[in-house]
Structure 1
């Protein structure tokens, strides 16, 4: 036989869960948002850095702060690197990586980078992805995706990079594997 305390426990603990599961409140308290699921996009492209070095005619980065500290601590460059779908910088340009990088390590080479990936071609034209992370002496690494606009609204994810075998003294090429989650435009 149920005691009054058992009935109270049922009313306060179990009944709300039963009613929600049965969607009794759906008509009274509808979800105010017409939310879409996140989309997941994987991209593969190449970054072309024409370094600010003597003898590089088409530089796409310039030093704005020079440093006399060991290993260049505090040195900063502004960059406007090319993004392509192939290893050649002269074909299939789909966007640019615009931002800065600064030498943040006092005892080891460690460049902090913050940049915006701006797409100019294809279905992503006009969209952006915000990227930050470190570039050290190792040829491989990973950057964080911290936001975006357009197709990539509310983006988050990662970019894995490796130095390309196609790199030259005047074109430092990095292969990018981009894995991004983003929210599609809301349907009204």
Structure 2
């Protein structure tokens, strides 16, 4: 087993701030019911979501990411929803980077950013649900993240440099 432990120097952190627009494209077009308990108030309902996120809400808006994940009605209260989703960036600058977001309640204003990958390694912060503009939900992302140096990895035998990328 190979491992390495290094003492930490002052950790470099970057701050991100995005104001983006999540598009809800009509009933069930980007949400799929996985489990339907058929109980009162939808308790036990589980949805999978894949929603586009744009840099604006007009006709010139560009797709920058997708919100993908699961939402479940985990409580018997009206707004007892729990969500665990990833924001997967598709734009040129952050392509492939992710933010992991968790929260409760579909109508709650704040959800926690609890991690990230790519450019946003070790992200911690908050996602705010702001105003609605027709079918667009304005969201604000604020987080700190720690950029990490990319290291080569292998598939297969340790030390096999042929499979490093």
Residue in structure 1 matched with residue 43 of structure 2 by the alignment = 73
CA RMSD of aligned residues (A): 2.3
Deviations 1:26-82 (A, max 9, x none): xxxxx83455421111111011123544xxxxx111111112211101111101011
Residue in structure 1 matched with residue 140 of structure 2 by the alignment = 177
Question: Of 122, 132, 156, which residue of structure 1 is paired with 2:92?
Answer: 122
Deviations 1:144-165 (A, max 9, x none): 011100110011000111241x
CA distance 1:88–1:111, change in 2 (3 Å): farther
Residue in structure 2 matched with residue 101 of structure 1 by the alignment = 71
> Once the 2 structures are TM-superposed, how far is the Cα of residue 109 of structure 1 from its aligned partner?
2.4
Is the 1:119–1:125 Cα contact (8 Å) retained in structure 2?
Answer: yes
> Once the 2 structures are TM-superposed, how far is the Cα of residue 86 of structure 1 from its aligned partner?
0.7
Matched, 1:156 2:124: yes
The gaps in structure 1 that reach 5 residues or longer are: 1-30, 54-58
CA distance 1:182–1:75, change in 2 (3 Å): same
CA distance 1:163–1:68, change in 2 (3 Å): farther
Question: Of 29, 34, 41, which residue of structure 1 is paired with 2:16?
Answer: 41
The gaps in structure 2 that reach 5 residues or longer are: 1-5, 152-165
Determine helix, strand or coil for the equivalent of 1:151.
helix
> Once the 2 structures are TM-superposed, how far is the Cα of residue 174 of structure 1 from its aligned partner?
1.4
* Higher fraction of helix: 1
> 1:4-153 counterparts in 2 under 5 A?
32-53=7-28, 59-88=29-58, 91-136=61-106, 138=107, 140-153=108-121
